[in-house]
Structures are given as C-alpha cells and as structure tokens.
Amino acid sequence: MEDLEKNTARRKRRDALFAVVGLLATFVGMITLGALILDLAIDGVGRLSYNFFTAFPSRFAGQAGILSAWVGTTMVMMVTAATAVPMGVAAGVYLEEYAPKNWLTAMIEINIANLAGVPSIIYGLMALGLFVYQLNLGHSILTAGLTLALLILPIVIVATRESIRAIPNSIREAAYALGATKWRTTRDHVIPYSTGGILTGVIIALSRAIGETAPLITIGALTFIAFLPDSPITSEFPFISFQWLMSPFTVMPIQMFNWVSRPQQEFHLNAAATGLVLMVMTLCMNAVAIYFRYRFRKRIKW
Amino acid sequence: MANNPVKTEATYPSVRELSVPSDFAGINLQRISERIIEFFLFLAAMSSIAITVGIVGVLLYESEQFFAHVSIVDFLTDTQWTVLFTNPRYGIMPLVTGTLVTSITALVVALPLGTVVAIYLSEYANPRVREILKPVLELLSAVPTVVFGYFALLFLTPILQKFLPGLPGFNMLSAGIVIGIMIIPYISSLSEDAIKAVPVTIREGSYAMGATRLQTALRVLIPSAFSGIASAYVLGFSRAVGETMIVAIAAGTQPNLTLNPMEGAATITAYIVQVSLGDLPHGSIAYQSIFAAGLVLMLMTLAFNIGGYFLRKKFREIYE
C-alpha cells in the first residue's frame, strides 16, 4: 500500500513537472521573439527619423535611407495582391463549388498541397528561367510581383476554400430555390459570406510576401537603387502609366540583407532599423488578421 | 395553382412553353456566360498545375544544359564546389553537407521543443491560456527570415562565442538553432492537431487505468498520433532544408565539406543567393549551376515528403 502511494506521488510529481517544462518550452519561442524585437529596437530605433524614410541608400551609413526600398515593396505588393487574390479566390471557388470529383480535381488538390511545401527560393529559380529569360519580363517589379503571387497562391486558395466550406448548404439551396444560377449564388451569397475568412488569409499571405527575400534576390533584384520607378500617375493623357512595372527595384528585406552583410558596424544599425520597420509591418498585418478572424468567428452564427 | 385545382396544365402553359419563346435569348446568354465563368474559374485552379510544370520544367531544362558540361559522376562524387574559380570543380557534396548539418541542428532544437509544446498545449494548458499562447507562438513563423538572419549573426553568435571560444563569426550552429526556433510553430501546431485527433475514449481509457496526463501523453497519445507527428517532423525538416536567408547571412558562403556545426559552410540555398547577387551572364555554366543546385534541393525535399507519406501510411492508426 505504501508502495502504491509512493508510486502515485512520484507519478504526480512528474506530471506537475511536465506542466512546468511545457510552459518553459512554449516560452523559448516567445522569449526569442521578444529578444529579437528588443535587439532590433535597441540597435535600430536611433536611426529611425524622417530622413531615414525619405533618403536613398548611400555609401555613408548615417545618410542612407530606405526610400527606394519601401516604394519598391509597396509596388511589388500591389502586383502580388492584384494577381494572387483574384486567381486564388477563383481557384478556391472552383474547387469548392464547381469541381467534379474526378482525377483532375484530385491532382489539382495534391498539387496545391505540394506547392505549399516547395522552398521559396525554388520559385525564384522558376521565375528567373521563365519570367526573366523566356518571357523577357526582365529583372522588374512585374517579375517580382508575379513571383511572390505564385508563392502565396496556395495560402490564398486554402484560406478561400476553408471559409467557403463553412457556409452551410441551406444558403445555397435557398438561392437555387429562388431560381438563381450557380454563378449568381456564388457571386451574391457564397463569396460575400466568406469575405472575412478570405481577407484574413490574404493579409497573412501578403505579410509572408513582404518578408520574402530569397526569390527576389534570385530573379536579380538590385541591392543598391538610388532612383524611384516611374510614377504610375502622369500629367499627360491618359494619366496612368504602367512604365513602373518594368522598372528595376529593391525591396526592404533585400535592403536589410545588403546592410547586414556589410562588415561596418554603422550599416548594421541601418539594417536593424529596416528590420524594425519590417517587423512592425508584419506584426501589424498579423494582428489585423487575428482580429478579423476573431470578429468574424464571433459574429457569424448560421 | 395549389389553391385552384380545377385549372390544370391545359389552361396554364407549361414552364417550358412560357419561358422559351419570350426569354429564349436571355436564357441562352445566361447559360453561355455561366459556362464561360466556370471555364475561367477552372483555369485559375489549373494554374497550380501550371506552376508545378513550370518549376519542374525550368529546373530540368537548365540542369540539362549544366550536365552537358559537367559529368553527373563528378557532380556527385567530387568534394569541391568551386564554380566561380578559374579552375572550377563541380562537386555538390559540400553544399549538401552544409544543408544537412544546418537542418539537423535545427531539428535537434525544434523536435523536442515542438513536441513538448504540442503536448503542453493540447493536454495541459487551459483553453484561455492556449488562446493567447498559440497565436503569439505562431507569430514566430511570420517573422521575415532576413530578420532571423540578423538575429543569428549579430545576437546569437556573439552569445555563443562566449561559451564556445573559437567559434567563427559565420557558423552553422547559430544559423541552425535559429532555424530550429523558427520551425517550432510548424511542428507544434501540426503535432497538436494530430494529438487532438486521437479519440477522447482512448484518453479516458488511459485515465481510467490510473495513468497521469504525462503517462497518457507519452504512452498512449504519441504512439496513437505518431503518423501525424511524424509528418509534422518531415514538414519541419523540409522547411529547414529550404531555408535561405538565415543561412546566407549567418552560416557564411564558403562551401566547406564538414559535419561540424561549429564551422561555417554554404548551403545549397546560400550558394544560389550568392551567385544571384553577382551579375552572371545568362547561359553561363555558373548561371546553370544554380538550377542544378536547385534541382538537388527540390529532390531532397521531395524525398523527405515521400518518406513522410510512407511513414504516415505505415504508422497510421485508424479509429472507428
């Protein structure tokens, strides 16, 4: 009997111990995240000034800024979003609402799952061989935007499918009963009701794309750019120009990489400041996504 | 119509007769536009197959040009990778060992931590704590990898150097540890899903026998969920193998045939980045070599994914 009590006590002790170990293990990740943000902030916050956002990169660390980098990031993201969102949502809608159950659909699904596991640099190689040299799009913003769009396509598709799947069939049947066609049902009911989930997925996908560096280096993004792409708005008719799409570019993570790989300490401070800006952007996007998910989950009751 | 059973089909025209003559063009147009829309949606879905074909096609095409100049035997057996030198040697081995050493270092960090976190979150943490811990932990995978690279090179390496004097500034250890921390959320959330999927009756059976939560987790849940956990590990590993910026920044760009994580060495991905940064003429051997390296990387991740698939199949427990 005493043995049994001892045994029970020992097992309970181990159980309690594991609760502590588990919490600590969870904290390893969080402490790293905290240390990382703190480290960037300590090194970089001193460099954050109005000048840092409005200056081009420079040989002199103290005068260098991220103007060309954040403009480049914004433009690349516009191309990425304009490509990946319609394509991803359309593919998700097709797979959930239209696709027949056959080998082709199964193959598309297997493909999407596989693509999500392909290293991002491989997308860069594909874009280098295909977009840059076969389609002659050059080392341009357009190439970069398309590359990142392909990279995040699986995320958008999966998010779209998941939120469409949550819509109960009774909604569709009600629309059909009123004589709506399949597309009308999809356009007026299925897509609007799943917008929240799709939006969450799109934001998370774009926050991934903003931080991507390797595929853009592979397609030949420059690391030192002291000019801006042509403005999309012109003073002459037709007032909109797409010249900027073909412009060479740099983006924030590449600018940061360039500065971190220089030996001089002062450039590391610039890298930290850039990293801080990047972190704030991605964390904000993720916070917005989490908030959306929370709100939509709470609001919608079928 | 139901209220007035006297009037039958004879007096009312059938639906078809009603709509066809007056609305014929409209319905036809609608039918056609429905088909056109469906076709475009189908094209969007097919794009995923096109991407895969594009990736495989480009890698094979450019690698074929590469292997027209370099023999496959040299490629696989030579111990030097000096493509950019005047006397180039084309042995992929140093890049492969660099990739494996950083990835294994990452796994040594991520497997135990990820598994413990998964057990903790699914079996121990109360739901409110979990609601907070999980999203915060998942933010780790949202951090841009170039930021992790900065952290590895300028924060972790100096700390490691205090404990390990003689550790060079560029080393695979620090890069591997940071990759490991980065992939914890991948491993923990997939493993957690797998553990959660074990039917509650099995858990209750174990508790009824007097087992603690820890014993239940280690001896019942993990074996039952092993196929899911193993696939989480495999996914984590293929993330680590494909990781680029952390190694390019913190592990150096010097190909180095070694199994010692305390040294610096280039990985396959770091080599691709290094070559891409220079301005290489299209069609040169160095240009083609990044595609050959990319093909090896792709085959490695593919091999792990297939391995994971069989692992999953072999150890799958099927519950009624």
Indicate whether B313 pLDDT > 80: no
Judge if the upstream peptide bond of residue A238 is cis by omega within 30 degrees of 0: yes
ipTM of the complex: 0.87
> What pLDDT does residue B22 have?
47
What number of other Cβ atoms are within 10 A of residue B131's Cβ?
11
Chain B partners within 8 Å of A217 (Cβ): 273, 276-277
Q: What Cα–Cα distance (Å) separates residue A189 from each residue in A48, A193, B9, B164, B238?
A: 46, 6, 35, 62, 39
Structural domains counted in chain B: 2
Same domain membership, residue B142 and residue B42: no
Residues 6+ apart with CB under 8 A from A196: A163, A292, A293, A295, A296, A300
- Please state, rounded to an integer, the average pLDDT across all residues of chain A: 84
Who wins on pLDDT, B16 or B288? B288
pTM over 0.95: no
Residue B2 in any domain: the answer is no
Residue B88 in any domain: the answer is no
Residues 6+ apart with CB under 8 A from B41: A90, A91, A93, A94, A98
Task: Scan residues 139-178 of A and list those with Cβ closer than 8 Å to B.
Answer: 150, 153-154, 157
DSSP string for A101-166: SSHHHHHHHHHHHHHTTS-HHHHHHHHIIIIIIIS---SSHHHHHHHHHHHHHHHHHHHHHHHHHT
Chain A partners within 8 Å of B290 (Cβ): 125, 218
Domain A50-299 coded CATH 1.10.3720.10? yes
Of A114, A117, A217, the CB nearest to B277: A217
**What are A133-144's pLDDT values in tens digits?**
888 787 888 888
Chain A partners within 8 Å of B276 (Cβ): 124, 128, 217-220
CA distance linking residue B43 with residue B49, whole number of Å: 10
Domain range for residue B64?
15-69
Q: Which residue of B has its CA nearest to A203?
A: B142
Q: What is the mean pLDDT of residues B281-307?
A: 85
How would you class A246 by CB atoms within 10 Å of its CB: exposed for 0-12, middle for 13-18, buried for 19 or more?
Answer: middle
How would you class A186 by CB atoms within 10 Å of its CB: exposed for 0-12, middle for 13-18, buried for 19 or more?
Answer: buried
- Please state, rounded to an integer, the average pLDDT across all residues of chain B: 83
Residue B171 in any domain: the answer is yes
Residues 6+ apart with CB under 8 A from A45: A273, A276
Are A18 and B272 a contacting pair at CB < 8 A? no
The Cα of B6 is separated from the nearest Cα of chain A by a number of Å equal to 26
Residues 6+ apart with CB under 8 A from A58: A64, A65, A226
Are A217 and B273 a contacting pair at CB < 8 A? yes
Are B136 and A33 a contacting pair at CB < 8 A? yes
> What pLDDT does residue B106 have?
93
Are B155 and A91 a contacting pair at CB < 8 A? no
Length of chain B in terms of residues written: 320
Same domain membership, residue B132 and residue B244: yes
**What are B216-232's pLDDT values in tens digits?**
988 999 988 888 888 88
Residue B76 in any domain: the answer is no
Q: Which residue has the tokens 């999203």?
A: B135
Residue B10 in any domain: the answer is no
Residue B3 in any domain: the answer is no
Same domain membership, residue B309 and residue B258: yes
Tokens describing residue A281: 């952007």
Are B214 and A15 a contacting pair at CB < 8 A? yes
Indicate whether A211 pLDDT > 60: yes
CA distance linking residue B121 with residue B132, whole number of Å: 11
- Band of pLDDT at residue A236, cut at 50, 70 and 90: low
Percent of chain B with pLDDT over 90: 22
Residue B126 in any domain: the answer is yes
Q: Which residue has the tokens 């040009």?
A: B65
How would you class B51 by CB atoms within 10 Å of its CB: exposed for 0-12, middle for 13-18, buried for 19 or more?
Answer: buried
How would you class A169 by CB atoms within 10 Å of its CB: exposed for 0-12, middle for 13-18, buried for 19 or more?
Answer: exposed
Planar angle of CA A246, A147, A276, nearest 5 degrees: 90
Indicate whether B320 pLDDT > 70: no
In Å, how far from its chain's centre is CA B277?
25
In Å, how far from its chain's centre is CA B225?
20
Length of chain A in terms of residues written: 302
Chain A partners within 8 Å of B112 (Cβ): 25
The Cα of A160 is separated from the nearest Cα of chain B by a number of Å equal to 12
> What pLDDT does residue A240 have?
66
The answer to whether the beta carbons of residues A98 and A191 sit under 8 Å apart is no
Same domain membership, residue B97 and residue B28: no
CA distance linking residue A216 with residue A77, whole number of Å: 12
Reduce the DSSP state of residue A84 to 3 states and report it.
helix
Q: What Cα–Cα distance (Å) separates residue B177 from each residue in A142, A257, B104, B157, B249?
A: 35, 19, 10, 10, 14
> What pLDDT does residue B102 have?
92
The answer to whether the beta carbons of residues B276 and A217 sit under 8 Å apart is yes
The answer to whether the beta carbons of residues A277 and A66 sit under 8 Å apart is yes
Tokens describing residue A120: 């991002």
Same domain membership, residue B288 and residue B188: yes
Nearest alpha carbon to residue B296 among B105, B94, B104? B94
Q: Which residue of A has its CA nearest to B295?
A: A122
Chain A partners within 8 Å of B44 (Cβ): 86-88, 90-91, 94
Percent of chain A with pLDDT over 90: 14
Are A15 and B241 a contacting pair at CB < 8 A? no
Same domain membership, residue B31 and residue B172: no
Chain B partners within 8 Å of A268 (Cβ): 154
Task: Scan residues 188-247 of A and list those with Cβ closer than 8 Å to B.
Answer: 204, 207-208, 210-214, 217-220, 223
CA distance linking residue A219 with residue A222, whole number of Å: 9
Are B272 and A21 a contacting pair at CB < 8 A? no
Of B58, B137, B146, the CB nearest to A26: B137
- Band of pLDDT at residue A149, cut at 50, 70 and 90: very high
CA distance linking residue B37 with residue B58, whole number of Å: 31
Q: Which residue of A has its CA nearest to B250?
A: A261
What number of other Cβ atoms are within 10 A of residue A136's Cβ?
8
Are B154 and A207 a contacting pair at CB < 8 A? no
> What pLDDT does residue B235 have?
85
Of A183, A211, A219, the CB nearest to B145: A211
**The CATH number of the domain where B104 resides is what?**
1.10.3720.10
**What are B4-54's pLDDT values in tens digits?**
444 444 455 555 554 444 455 666 787 888 889 889 999 988 888 999 999
| φ, ψ at B28 (rounded to 5°) | -60, -45
Same domain membership, residue B171 and residue B22: no
Same domain membership, residue B269 and residue B216: yes
Q: What is the mean pLDDT of residues A209-220?
A: 88
Same domain membership, residue B190 and residue B152: yes
How would you class A300 by CB atoms within 10 Å of its CB: exposed for 0-12, middle for 13-18, buried for 19 or more?
Answer: middle
CA distance linking residue A288 with residue B185, whole number of Å: 20
Give the start-to-end residue ranges of the domains of chain A.
2-45, 50-299
CB pairs A-B closer than 8 Å: 254
Indicate whether A228 pLDDT > 80: no
- Band of pLDDT at residue B160, cut at 50, 70 and 90: confident
Indicate whether B66 pLDDT > 60: yes
Of A28, A35, A119, the CB nearest to B155: A35
Who wins on pLDDT, A278 or B313? A278
CA distance linking residue A17 with residue A26, whole number of Å: 14
Are B48 and A39 a contacting pair at CB < 8 A? no
Same domain membership, residue B53 and residue B97: no
The answer to whether the beta carbons of residues A240 and B111 sit under 8 Å apart is no
Q: Which residues of B186-215 are buried (b: 16+ CB within 10 A; e: fewer)?
A: bbbbbbbebbeebeeeebeebeeeebbbbb
Residues 6+ apart with CB under 8 A from A73: A210, A251, A252
CA distance linking residue A302 with residue B5, whole number of Å: 38
- Band of pLDDT at residue A72, cut at 50, 70 and 90: confident
Q: Which residue of A has its CA nearest to B62?
A: A129
Q: What is the mean pLDDT of residues A9-32?
A: 89
Are B139 and A214 a contacting pair at CB < 8 A? no
The Cα of A230 is separated from the nearest Cα of chain B by a number of Å equal to 24
> What pLDDT does residue B319 have?
63
Instruction: Report long-range pairs for B129-133 (Cβ below 8 Å, ≥24 apart).
Output: B133/A26, B133/A30
A229: which DSSP letter?
P
Bridge partners, residue B81, by sequence: B90
Task: Scan residues 13-72 of A and list those with Cβ closer than 8 Å to B.
Answer: 14-15, 18-19, 21-23, 25-26, 28-30, 32-33, 35-36, 39-40, 43
Residue B225 in any domain: the answer is yes
